[in-house]
Amino acid sequence: MTHSHIKYWLALIGIGLISLHLYLSELFSKAGSVSHNSLFWMVVLFSIWEKRDRLQLESDRISSFCGTALISLVLYKSLHLFPDDFFLRISPLLSLIGWGLLGSGIKGIKQYSQEIFLLSFLAIPWEFIYIRSYALTKNKKNGLHGIILGLH
């Protein structure tokens, strides 16, 4: 397969994974998460588009197998999701790592380090951080002892 065919296949696989994630986010997530996810994916796509000519697309068999296995895991788990499933948060990260392994191999995955770092923010359960910070401000009058002892 020629180098240009590989680029097209990778583009189609990437677009399919992004579309799947956004669709599942719309079905199973809270309101507003689709817009956040779309924003993150647009930034990742723009970043990859900017360096498309410099990407080394050389993958070996083991890396291709691992990338295919990660993508297959994302596709399989997508069939068995439930509302607010944590897997929906980490699927963009797994998709990008699988896609990067498939296209560039283990040696070339570092080309996508910025994008992986960016998508890792989608895996953070921000609502728990907000709830905890609210509890800290609410219990400020109890001090540190109130927080440790659970005095609410």
Contacting residues for 128 by C-beta, under 8 A, at least 6 apart:
none
In a domain, 22, yes or no: yes
In a domain, 47, yes or no: yes
Cα Rg of the chain (Å, integer): 19
- Residue 128: alpha-carbon gap to chain centroid: 19
Backbone angles phi, psi at 142, to 5 degrees: -80, -15
- pLDDT tens string, the chain, 152 residues long: the values are 566 688 889 999 999 999 999 999 888 876 667 888 899 999 999 999 999 889 888 889 999 999 999 999 999 999 988 877 788 889 999 999 999 999 999 999 999 999 999 999 888 876 666 666 555 565 555 555 544 545 44
In a domain, 62, yes or no: yes
Q: Please state the domain count of the chain.
A: 1
In a domain, 137, yes or no: no
In a domain, 140, yes or no: no
151/149 Cα distance (integer angstroms): 6
Nearest of 35, 47, 49 to residue 118 by alpha carbon: 47
In a domain, 136, yes or no: no
Identify residue 25 by its one-letter amino acid code.
Answer: S
125/122 Cα distance (integer angstroms): 8
In a domain, 147, yes or no: no
DSSP 8-state secondary structure symbol assigned to residue 124 = S
Nearest of 116, 82, 85, 125 to residue 98 by alpha carbon: 116
144/147 Cα distance (integer angstroms): 5
Residue 50 lies in domain: 3-124
In a domain, 31, yes or no: yes
